[in-house]
Amino acid sequence: MLSERIYTLRRKQGLSQEQLAEKICVSRQAISKWEGGLSTPELDKLKALSDCFGITLDELTSEDTNSAEKPAPNTATPAAVSSASKLGIFLCGIGALLLVLAGIMMMVAPASVDKLNESSTITLNGSGILLLLCVLCMVAGVILVLRKK
């Protein structure tokens, strides 16, 4: 039945009735009535539901129960996506802050920069390594923000 299909697909996507209602521009009560079998969505709302669930209208309205079992194309949870983005933004911020602090340190206390350069055993001097680490931190942050799931 259509009411069971809407309920099943909504739950598989991890959406509340209110969240689904917001996505397709109807009230939460309309979703409740559809899932309870008290009313049937109009054609434009059926199209919006099929788009939201990532299935065709035929799959949404057919009596074949196998079509409801197909996973929706976007199964990533918003929390997982936002946590990766938050981590990326955090890394970008830390990298930028460290770059600014390194620049200030080079201007205010050049003697400490010389000590850092002398302590480095790598051919690239100490301040160069510090700047490289800051840039790598920012690049890792940008990759986390921009990567697609």
Summarize pLDDT for 124-145 with one digit per residue, the tens.
666 677 777 778 888 887 787 7
The answer to whether residues 55 and 88 belong to one domain is: no
Regarding predicted confidence, which is higher, 48 or 81? 48
My answer on whether 141 and 96 are in the same domain is yes
- Look up the domain containing 53 and give its range: 2-69
* Distance (Å, whole) CA 69 – CA 52: 15
Residues 13 and 61 in one domain: yes
Q: How far apart are the first and last CA of the chain?
A: 32
For 73, phi and psi rounded to 5 degrees?
A: -60, -35
49-75 pLDDT, tens digit per residue, is 989 988 988 888 887 655 444 544 555
Split into its structural domains, the chain has a count of: 2
83 with 30, same domain: the answer is no
Q: Is the pTM of the predicted complex or chain greater than 0.85?
A: no
